[in-house]
């Protein structure tokens, strides 16, 4: 995964976990807030991405607790996950800067 770009769900999940360990529903809500409501992760997508991020060593289980007879698993960012998120954030920042510069050269960009 180190040489591949992160998809938006993975980027948002890592960003959510950069603030604090969270459980699934917390990450879904945080991803919605981070994206200003544009991205609404579904549970199936969330847990597929969590499994991949965990197998890649970017996140790990922080703790588990039982709430109303249901297991709630909290995940946290690993050092490798924080490093990967920083690389991806810089890649996106660079791409946005190039796009903004080129749009400005066109005379303003979006209509």
CATH class label, 8-101: mainly alpha
What whole-number distance in Å separates Cα of residue 105 and Cα of residue 111?
14
Residue 6, CB half-sphere, CA atoms under 13 Å: how many? 27
**Confidence at residue 107, expressed as pLDDT on a 0 to 100 scale:** 84
**Is 1's pLDDT higher than 70?**
no
**Is 74's pLDDT higher than 60?**
yes
pTM across the whole model:
0.88
- Arithmetic mean of pLDDT over the chain: 93
In tens, the pLDDT along 31-53 reads: 999 999 999 999 999 999 999 99
Ordered DSSP codes for 38-97: S----HHHHHHHHHHHHHTTSEEEEEEEEETTEEEEEEEE-HHHHHHHHHHHHHHHHHHH
pLDDT band, residue 56 (cuts 50/70/90): very high
Residue 42, CB half-sphere, CA atoms under 13 Å: how many? 2
Percent of the chain with pLDDT over 70: 94
């Amino acid at each position: 995964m180190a040489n591949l770009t992160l998809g938006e769900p993975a980027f948002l999940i890592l960003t959510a976990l950069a603030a604090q360990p969270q459980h699934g529903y917390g990450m879904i809500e945080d991803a919605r807030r981070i994206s200003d409501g544009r991205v609404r992760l579904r549970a199936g997508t969330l847990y597929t991405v969590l499994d991949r991020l965990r197998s890649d060593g970017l996140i790990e289980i922080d703790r588990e607790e039982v709430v109303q007879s249901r297991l709630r698993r909290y995940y946290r960012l690993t050092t490798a996950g924080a490093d990967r998120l920083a690389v991806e954030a810089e890649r996106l920042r660079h791409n946005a800067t190039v796009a903004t510069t080129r749009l400005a050269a066109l005379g303003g960009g979006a209509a």
